Amino acid sequence: MRYAVTEESFASLTTLWTSQNHLRWSSIFVLPTWLQVWWQEFGNGDKPLLLAVRQGEQTTGIAPLLLREGKASFLGSTDVCDYLDFIIAPNREKVFFNTLLDDLEKKGIEQLDLGAVRPDSTVITTLVTVARERGYEVQYQPEAVSVELDLPATWEKYLAILDTKQRHELKRKLRRASAEGKLDYRLVSDRLLLNQTIDAFLKMFTESRRDKATFLTPRMEAFFRSLVSAMAQIGLARFGILELDSVPTAIILYFDYNDYIYLYNSSYDPRYESLSVGLLCKVLGIESSILTSKKKFDFLKGNEPYKYYLGGKEIPLYRCQITIR
């Protein structure tokens, strides 16, 4: 049976995701909900090109692209979508990419500019090879890093992976904060409470660091609010709150998807900075993830020192450019 390429909508992609299909939705950043929120806030009138490769009634894969002046890129920007990829059924990558590239040629699209992508993305593992086999010019190079932590089975095993100095320093910070009052970490996952908590989160976000205050433009704040609300509707959004004597001192925003924790952003009250509450909130988020048997704690893009201090390992992120001819 021949393969066909169809243009999709966010609604049809959502139907595919909710239908428990065989496609591999590799991270939160490729989910229809995430992509639609990004499009609504940052689309700027550019044309989304949501393509699906189908064989009869079966969907082989999805290409969530953005079309601009003859060039196609992933839908989503690297400042808020840490890494991206195509959504493809396992073991169907080669036929998907050959069919997709045939279609892009017919559409007159001259270049694919894809970033940021992980080394285990289908872009690096398959598309680069397929494109070169077709005689296309392919360039890819590292442009950033992501940091992640494979979670062990217990908190004690997690502490054991830290070096002696890190482990002792972490325990010292926890003791020091606990000596100031009742230290408590609590999780917010209820949809209504999530929408209420974001006000406190954004207030701390702008107060904690000048660069974060600059980053949080009115459009970016609208994106954060829409994202939390939309991801709460599909049950993936979480806030982790560190309290001292019932007073919130730090908050982490993360997403819980397929037993992976994606630490999206964080904030803290500067009045408690001397107690390292921002770091401790993340530490207790790791502990909570271990207690609920999560597999990975993804600190996401950026090489901030605390990520390595807490045991994270660096993953390169690439930008891949393919000239189609």
Residue whose token pair is 């169907």: 92
Closest of 152, 160, 146 to residue 312, by C-alpha: 146
Evaluate if residue 46 carries a pLDDT over 90.
Answer: no
For residues 76-89, average pLDDT: 96
Quick one: pLDDT at residue 3?
95
According to CATH, what is the number of the domain 152-294?
3.40.630.30
**pTM of the model as a whole:** 0.96
Quick one: pLDDT at residue 191?
92
For residues 249-271, average pLDDT: 97
pLDDT band at 203 (very low <50, low <70, confident <90, very high): very high
Tokens of 115: 């970033």
Q: Which CATH class is domain 4-144+317-323?
A: alpha beta
Could you give the residue range(s) of every CATH 3.40.630.30 domain in the chain? 4-144+317-323, 152-294
Query: Is residue 285 within 8 Å of residue 185, measured between CB atoms?
Result: yes
Evaluate if residue 11 carries a pLDDT over 90.
Answer: yes
Q: How far apart are CA 322 and CA 266, in angstroms?
A: 35
Alpha carbon distances (Å) from 187 to 183, 236, 242 = 14, 13, 9
Q: Any idea which of 69-73, 262-266, 270-274, 314-318 has the lowest mean pLDDT?
A: 69-73
Query: Is residue 268 within 8 Å of residue 209, measured between CB atoms?
Result: no
Q: Nearest 10 degrees: CA dihedral of 39, 42, 44, 47? A: -30
Q: Give the SS3 label for residue 224.
A: helix
